[in-house]
Amino acid sequence: METIWRVEQVTEKPGLVEARLQRVEWFKKNPDFDVAMADESQDELPEEFIDARPGEPGADTIDVGGTLVLDVTDGPDLHPLDDVALTLRVLTLVEVE
């Protein structure tokens, strides 16, 4: 599943707009879990919670750690509580002889 970030704060300074994002995970209650709990013949229970998408009915978030501050001056118009999917690519210089 892709990493989702929640906008915590947007700060405007002269010539600069910064967005502070917190990494979150979306989840919801697994309906199969309640069915298995009611059926006492089940040997193994399914997971109680399953992955969810932002805005999905019954979905909620948990902070999983990690904060980013991004310069969004020329980027998207972000607001607190917006959910953002980011793709990060780390570039490392490699010396070639």
pTM above 0.75, yes or no: no
pLDDT digits 0-9 by tens, 41-61: 667 788 888 988 888 888 999
DSSP of 51-78? E--TT-TT-EEEEEEEEEEEE-TTS---
pLDDT digits 0-9 by tens, 70-80: 999 999 999 99
pLDDT of residue 1: 54
Q: Which of 64, 85, 80, 63 is nearest to 18 (CA)?
A: 80
Q: What are the residue boundaries of the structural domains of the chain, listed by start?
A: 4-85
